[in-house]
Structure 1
Amino acid sequence: MVRIDNLTVSYRQHPALHHVSGEFANGSLTAVIGPNGSGKSTLLKSIMGLLTSAGGRVQVNTPRARIAYLPQMTEIDRSFPMPVRDCVLLGCWSALGAWGGVDTGMLARADAAIHSVGLEGFEERTVGSLSSGQFQRVLFARLLMQDADLILLDEPFNAMDSRTTAALLDLIKQWHAQGRTVIAVLHDDVQVRAHFDQTVLLARELVAWGDTATVLTQANLLRARALAEAWDDSADICHTDEVSA
């Protein structure tokens, strides 16, 4: 589904990702894990095409309209007084565009998605009135509406209670069972071991990529921590001869 080839992404000419290569197979369920500042969110944004690479390339083998992306909660503004149902219907944007109309079938799908995340009765509530866990459920309902081949989740369980986390993990497992490709940035290695078959371990550069049991070894985790602590953002600018793509 996604091929990463020698990818380098820089902020202020210092690398956030440094010469990373690997492949996400069709239908795979992969966690991206690593210390803070290790490039996890940068990897997802690069797959989405939101960042320009300093070198290497990202190849995604599905149309942009078939990709669903959930950013970190802190990147989403909830101040606009939008009802829950309307927020969920935004998942139809790629099919409707700016001027398309919502039909009864889409309304029924939206209500079914809201029900599936346990928020029946919240359809007319504004998103700003919801708790963080409730709002994250709304965003997962919106992902359900997108019906995507590739689903990118950036810290989907951050600050979530255990009940919400369990419900959202069930949805992720359903997507995996349906043959969708899911890539999730996570922090909890115990959670990763329990629920994700594949893992990418980053520390700005690639530490390990493959089966979770072989990636999340004590040696690899210690190496990732050492690499993260060794990075110096005041060091000389990283130059690359690779062609941006």
Structure 2
Amino acid sequence: MPAALLELQSLTLERGGREVVRALSGTLTRGTLTAVVGPNGAGKSTLVEALAGHRPPCGGRIVRAAGLRLAHLPQQSALDRSFPIRVGDVVALGAWSRIGLWKALGGGLRREVDAALDTVGLAGCARRPISDLSVGQFQRVLFARLLLQDADLILLDEPFNAVDETTTADLLALVRRWCGQGRAVVAVLHDQARVRAHADRLLSLDGRGGWAWGDTAELLDAAAAPCLA
């Protein structure tokens, strides 16, 4: 049986004084992609923030495996792309837990940065300012940063929103590679065909605190997912 990385025990979450997730229980295991779906305001981002440790639960608990390495990529709209920083420096931030936030990049880390950029299709772009990038290119940079974080559990909040189809396909292939390496990925997604094709597990929130969690094909075929829009 796949190793559990994180367990939710009767988790209840609120946002803006409203209960958005009620008594949610389940387990995230290695080697799986879990898609989180639901209507606007259903608590998808709130849940991801709680999993990342950025939002305390109102009830229940989140149990993390000992030594769990976790990475969280919020929505692009939450990030400031006007900051004067180069692509390579953004990617290198993925290694801050190893090198410190302001330590100069050594040769070994530069090679890691270059290799990560090559993996996401941006070879030779390390010295470009992020303000010059398209939405899709910037998302590739953020995925390159995730590569350097080397996390066991990767949380993605709407990672393909406003991103072109070619970039989406390339990054989905990288997500599947992560799962093949024994990592777990949780992603807020909206496209039903994409969810069916790529997600192993589906966590559907109904916007009223209710939820369904299980095998993707079974839930979709049973029309248990309330919204994928």
Q: TM-score, normalised by structure 1?
A: 0.86
Runs of 4 or more, structure 1, over 3 Å off, are 98-101
What is the aligned partner in structure 2 of residue 229 from structure 1? Answer: none
Q: Contact 2:11 / 2:59 at 8 angstroms: preserved in 1?
A: yes
RMSD: 1.5
Task: Please say if 1:21 is aligned against 2:28.
Answer: no
Identity of aligned residues (%): 49
Q: Give the letter for the 2:29 counterpart.
A: A
Matched, 1:92 2:58: no
Rounded Cα–Cα distance in structure 2 between residues aligned with 1:157 and 1:62: 31
Aligned residue runs from structure 1 range 68-107, under 5 A: 68-107=71-110
Structure 2 residue runs of 5 or longer lacking an equivalent are none
Q: 1:117 and 2:120 equivalent? A: yes
Bigger shift: 200-209 or 79-88?
A: 200-209
Please point out which of 4, 7, 12 is paired with 2:8: 4
Matched letter for residue 213 of structure 1? A
C-alpha separation in 2, matches of 1:41 and 1:172: 19
Map 1:78-227; keep pairs closer than 5 Å.
78-204=81-207, 205-217=209-221, 219-221=223-225, 224=226
Please state if 1:43 is matched with 2:52: no
Deviation at 1:170, TM superposition (A): 0.8
The answer (yes or no) to whether the contact 1:30–1:183 under 8 Å persists in 2 is yes
1:55-66 to 2 correspondence within 5 Å?
A: 55-63=59-67, 66=69
Larger Cα-atom Rg: 1
Matched AA of 1:75? A
Greater CA deviation, 37-46 or 198-207? 198-207
For the residues of structure 1 that align with 2:176 and 2:81, how far apart are their CA atoms?
Answer: 28
Q: Distance in 2 between matches of 1:12 and 1:37?
A: 10
**Offset, 1:18:** 1.9
Structure 1 gaps of 5+ residues are 226-245
Which secondary structure does the structure 2 equivalent of 1:167 belong to?
helix
Q: What's the CA shift string for 1:59-112, capped at 9, x where partnerless?
A: 121536x11111001001111110000000000011122354432111101001
How many residues matched? 222
AA at the equivalent of 1:83? R
Distance in structure 1 (CA, Å) of the matches to 2:193 and 2:108 = 40
Please, what TM-score do these two structures have when normalized by structure 2? 0.92
